[in-house]
Amino acid sequence: MTARSVLLLVALALPAAPAIAQDADYSVSGGTLYATVRDWTVVKSEQFGCSAYPEAMPIVFNTPPAGGWQLVLPYTSAAAEGEYPGSIDVDKYSFTDTYYGDGVWVYASFPLEMRQAVAEGQNIYVHVGPAETELNLSGSKAALLKVEECWRDLTGWSAATSSRAGTFAFSGD
């Protein structure tokens, strides 16, 4: 096989190669600005769903396009991909679990009880391996409701026409 034919084979194979995965971008540059509410930015993205974060993005509320809720936290220290035990405390409530980190973000479940505590809480303290955050929760209730609205707008979900469950901030899961 000649060098020219090898180069031709490589050139033909490149478009068929899988795309390199990119890090999730929950900011406005990863989607479009949906709204700002009480100092929280809400972003709509076809790829990542609807997200809300306060300035400096120390925490993200996210609803993926398929539905459900995630609490997404940026790494604050160098750490590998993997699982990390930890706790997320909202005022007097504590939620302990094992959380997953992808090397950039730590993903936490964000069940109804935690969303309700966040909406009514004053402060959140995150102690999860490479993600350590303390944040005042002012405006978080409005942000959660705006993410719910954004998700309905993104997906076209309607109780009257959809057979799948909706994604609600303060009811069901």
Query: Phi and psi for 155 in degrees, rounded to 5?
Result: -95, -15
pLDDT one-digit tens code per residue, 90-120: 999 999 999 999 999 999 999 999 999 999 9
Helix (H) or strand (E) holding 42: strand 40-45
Residue in 77, 83, 78, 113 with CA at minimum distance from that of residue 95: 113
pLDDT one-digit tens code per residue, 41-66: 999 999 999 999 999 899 999 999 99
Contact 27, 50 (CB under 8 A): no
167/173 Cα distance (integer angstroms): 7
Say yes or no: domain 28-153 is CATH 2.60.40.1880.
yes
Looking at residue 22, its pLDDT comes to 59
Residue in 80, 63, 75, 73 with CA at minimum distance from that of residue 135: 73
pLDDT one-digit tens code per residue, 108-151: 999 999 999 999 999 999 999 999 999 999 999 999 999 999 99
127/122 Cα distance (integer angstroms): 17
Helix (H) or strand (E) holding 126: strand 123-128
Query: DSSP state, 29?
Result: G
Q: Which residues pair with 41 in a beta bridge?
A: 36, 53
Structural domain boundaries in the chain: 28-153
